[in-house]
């Protein structure tokens, strides 16, 4: 694939029937996957009617799950950015012993099965330090456990996004600010952070969307207690467990809409190169 000076993909001209046949094969292979995705969404939409959808969303349990999901995902996003900004900057701008190992550790929440993360958190709060925290603030099987479970996964995606963002920002402007008398912290706040605003928006949106869809760690670490630790993913599980498929589909469609909105925001506000680097690692 050819690229322009701005690193944007450039379409190559078709030179003959062989090129068209090659592209047709690619479209057939890729189109099969797209067809399955589209068929899944159409099936969900046809399974329920607007009346059933609204009736399901009037349920007190589902309204509680929506409210708790919005609150927990927002708090998780704030915490993720608070942690991801310094880590992303350090990983992009500094060299230190063990950097490769730390880089691998930061990706553990991305590659581990979600249930393992939930189980590890559960075990952590059975240790003496964890029990000491529990005596002050109840965490396990309470609302704080939801935020912590979401944070452990969402923050890893925010770190990767912001590291890619800081790596794309030329250090030259920062160096100029240092030569003009700024301290390193001042250069970061006045020069680097404003340049990283699109990456910050991308990281925040991605962290929020990831937190919204988190299920495994929450099920293990927080449980699925109605009107207590119930968020949208656990609502789908609970509704399916009692055979209320209509409500489960309604909540699923709500989450699909939120996911689509988040992905559109990421692509509109965020840099395509940041997103590609995040996806490819």
Q: What is the pLDDT of residue 2?
A: 46
pTM, entire model: 0.81
Alpha-carbon distance of 182 to 168, in angstroms, equals 21
Q: Does residue 280 have a pLDDT over 80?
A: no
Q: What is the pLDDT of residue 54?
A: 82
DSSP letter for 141, please. T
Q: Does residue 4 have a pLDDT over 60?
A: no
Please choose, from the candidates 199, 191, 236, the residue with its C-alpha nearest in 3D space to the C-alpha of residue 59.
236
Q: What is the pLDDT of residue 41?
A: 82
Q: Does residue 120 have a pLDDT over 90?
A: yes
One domain for residues 86 and 146: yes
Q: Does residue 166 have a pLDDT over 50?
A: yes
Asked whether residue 104 is assigned to any structural domain, the reply reads yes
One domain for residues 130 and 38: no
One domain for residues 31 and 77: no
Confidence class for position 6, pLDDT limits 50, 70, 90: very low
Contact 208, 74 (CB under 8 A): yes
CATH code (residue 183): 1.10.3720.10
Asked whether residue 221 is assigned to any structural domain, the reply reads yes
Stretch 58-83: mean pLDDT:
92
One domain for residues 150 and 31: no
Confidence class for position 1, pLDDT limits 50, 70, 90: very low
Contact 166, 237 (CB under 8 A): no
Alpha-carbon distance of 183 to 77, in angstroms, equals 29
Stretch 9-29: mean pLDDT:
72
One domain for residues 99 and 231: yes
Count how many domains the chain has: 2
One domain for residues 116 and 156: yes
Asked whether residue 8 is assigned to any structural domain, the reply reads no
What is the average pLDDT value for the chain, to the nearest integer?
84
What percentage of residues in the chain have a pLDDT greater than 90?
Answer: 40
Asked whether residue 88 is assigned to any structural domain, the reply reads yes
Asked whether residue 32 is assigned to any structural domain, the reply reads yes
Asked whether residue 3 is assigned to any structural domain, the reply reads no
Where is average pLDDT lowest: 64-73, 74-83, 98-107, 269-278? 269-278
Q: Does residue 99 have a pLDDT over 80?
A: yes
Residue ranges making up the domain that contains 20: 14-47
Confidence class for position 94, pLDDT limits 50, 70, 90: confident
One domain for residues 18 and 63: no
One domain for residues 19 and 142: no
CA angle 232, 75, 213 (to 5 degrees): 30
143-168 helix and 114-124 helix, angle to the nearest 10 degrees = 120
Q: Does residue 158 have a pLDDT over 60?
A: yes
Q: What is the pLDDT of residue 12?
A: 58
Asked whether residue 24 is assigned to any structural domain, the reply reads yes
Number of neighbouring beta carbons within 10 Å of residue 254: 21
- What's the Cα-to-Cα distance from 103 to each of 85, 107, 156, 204, rounded to whole Å? 15, 7, 10, 20
Stretch 20-26: mean pLDDT:
82
Contact 108, 183 (CB under 8 A): no
Stretch 119-139: mean pLDDT:
93
Q: Does residue 277 have a pLDDT over 60?
A: no
Instruction: Reduce the DSSP state of residue 13 to 3 states and report it.
Output: coil
One domain for residues 129 and 66: yes
Contact 81, 203 (CB under 8 A): yes
Confidence class for position 13, pLDDT limits 50, 70, 90: low
Q: Does residue 234 have a pLDDT over 90?
A: yes
For 2, the enclosing helix (H) or strand (E) is: strand 2-3
Q: What is the pLDDT of residue 5?
A: 47
Q: Does residue 46 have a pLDDT over 70?
A: yes
Pairing of strands 9-10, 2-3: antiparallel
One domain for residues 139 and 21: no
One domain for residues 176 and 201: yes
One domain for residues 105 and 192: yes
């Amino acid at each position: 694939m050819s690229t322009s000076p701005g690193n944007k993909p450039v379409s190559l001209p078709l030179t003959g029937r062989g090129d068209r046949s090659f592209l047709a094969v690619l479209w057939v292979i890729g189109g099969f996957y797209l067809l399955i995705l589209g068929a899944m969404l159409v099936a969900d939409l046809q399974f329920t009617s607007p009346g059933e959808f609204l009736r399901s969303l009037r349920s007190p349990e589902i309204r509680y799950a929506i409210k708790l999901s919005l609150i927990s995902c927002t708090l998780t996003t704030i915490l993720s950015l608070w942690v991801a900004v310094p880590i992303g900057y350090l990983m992009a701008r500094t060299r230190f012993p063990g950097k490769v190992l730390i880089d691998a550790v930061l990706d553990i929440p991305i590659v581990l099965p979600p249930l393992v993360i939930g189980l590890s958190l559960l075990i952590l709060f059975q240790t003496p330090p964890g029990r000491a925290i529990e005596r002050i603030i109840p965490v396990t099987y309470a609302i704080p456990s939801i935020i912590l479970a979401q944070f452990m996964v969402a923050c890893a995606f925010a770190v990767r996004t912001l590291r890619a963002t800081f790596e794309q920002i030329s250090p030259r402007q920062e160096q100029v600010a240092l030569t003009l008398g700024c301290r390193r912290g001042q250069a970061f706040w006045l020069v680097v952070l404003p340049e990283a605003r699109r990456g910050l928006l991308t990281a925040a949106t991605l962290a929020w969307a990831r937190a919204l869809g988190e299920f495994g760690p929450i099920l293990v670490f927080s449980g699925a207690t109605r009107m207590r630790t119930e968020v949208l993913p656990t609502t789908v599980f609970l509704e399916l467990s009692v055979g209320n498929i209509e409500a489960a589909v309604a909540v699923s469609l709500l989450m699909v809409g939120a996911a689509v909105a988040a992905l559109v925001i990421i692509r509109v506000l965020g840099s395509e190169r940041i997103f590609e680097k995040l996806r490819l690692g």
